[in-house]
Structure 1
Amino acid sequence: MHLPNPKWLSLDDAIVERQRQRDAGHTMVMTNGCFDLLHVGHISYLKASRDLGDQLWVLINSDESVRALKGPTRPIESEAERAYCLGALSCVDYVVVFNNPRLVTEIKQLQPDIYTKAGDYTLDTLHQGERAAFEAVGTQIQFLPFLEGFSTTKMIEKIHKAGSL
């Protein structure tokens, strides 16, 4: 199944587009994650991230990367499906899929102005290689309020429970 998604950029295309947007004076906000099953917590967080700059770029883990982080039963949705859902949101300007468990290379190449993470993270709990890369390129790191009670894991548990009724 082909899912048309003009917001999904390869890393090479993203580097070119980022330079074009930087030259135009646009502020890039970047966030990342698996975004396996899109939920209220994700949407709230993405909208708040977008409000911080001119554009929101969402970097998502590839299917292989999600499996390495979350285990063999994940992701629930493929990277194409996850990218399509994120690309359908008006608050998201671009989606880039990355293959490594961490973003160090992409951070250095895209050099975002602002990086956001949900408030369940701190500077100390961020991956320290990623944190160092953000600091090296001058990215401002912001933690946004965490909407309690929403997670992909909780959604999966709820679905399993509903299926056993």
Structure 2
Amino acid sequence: MPPALDIPKLLSLDDAARQREDARQAGEKVVLTNGCFDLLHTGHLFFLKKAAEQGDRLYVALNGDKSVQALKGPTRPVQSEQERAYLMGNLPFIDALVIFHTPRLTHEIQVLQPDVYVKAGDYDIGSLNPEERAALEACGTDIRFLPFLEGYSTTSLIAKIRAAADTF
């Protein structure tokens, strides 16, 4: 069994909500984004750095393993939620991580009430889940879509790795 990973930025939703309230009291703007972040790549880093620039603190809601499998298929995630959280938690521009296990982020949005919610430019207001969008609007959250760095995706990275493996 691998050693337990130390992930100080990984919080329970209750702890994240307490920190979020502290940020509110300090007049800080909290940005929320979410995703699988299965194999951290250039496109992810580009997006996350841009997301962090949208406010004072960046919170990332990370899809749990079962959620990733439901979204991406039976061979995913490649890395466990703990491994993904460890990687994300070591990025200096991420302030807090929360793992969610449900298909939708609605409850986390309602609890955290972010000032800003960001998604990459491969999304638009029409492609947001209606339930999540309603929760964001009810909180008065500013919804933003950031530039999408073309040519970088976990799916294409997996394809490159498979192609490289086929040459051996």
Displacement, 1:22?
A: 1.1
Task: Determine the C-alpha separation between the residues in 2 that align with 1:56 and 1:14.
Answer: 11
- Pairs aligned (count): 165
Task: Determine the C-alpha separation between the residues in 2 that align with 1:146 and 1:91.
Answer: 18
Q: Percent identity?
A: 56
Task: Determine the C-alpha separation between the residues in 1 that align with 2:35 and 2:103.
Answer: 10
Displacement, 1:68?
A: 1.1
* Residue 80 of structure 1, aligned match among 79, 82, 97: 82
1:128: which partner in 2?
130
- Which amino acid is the alignment partner of residue 11 of structure 1? L
User: 1:12 and 2:14 equivalent?
Assistant: yes
Per-residue CA distance 1:48-72 (angstroms, 9 max, x = gap): 0101100000100000111111111
SS at match of 1:9: coil
Displacement, 1:90?
A: 0.9
SS at match of 2:61: strand
User: 1:49 and 2:44 equivalent?
Assistant: no
SS at match of 2:74: coil
Task: Determine the C-alpha separation between the residues in 2 that align with 1:135 and 1:112.
Answer: 11
Displacement, 1:30?
A: 0.5
SS at match of 1:108: helix
Q: Unmatched 5+ residue regions in structure 1?
A: none
SS at match of 1:58: strand
Task: Determine the C-alpha separation between the residues in 2 that align with 1:153 and 1:83.
Answer: 19
Per-residue CA distance 1:92-121 (angstroms, 9 max, x = gap): 111110010110000000000000000010
- Which amino acid is the alignment partner of residue 39 of structure 2? L
* Residue 91 of structure 2, aligned match among 89, 106, 111: 89
Task: Determine the C-alpha separation between the residues in 2 that align with 1:147 and 1:3.
Answer: 30
TM-score w.r.t. length of structure 2? 0.96
SS at match of 1:124: coil
* Residue 164 of structure 1, aligned match among 148, 163, 166: 166
SS at match of 2:137: helix
Displacement, 1:138?
A: 0.3
Displacement, 1:25?
A: 1.2
TM-score w.r.t. length of structure 1? 0.98
Moved segments of 4+, more than 2 Å? none
Displacement, 1:164?
A: 0.2
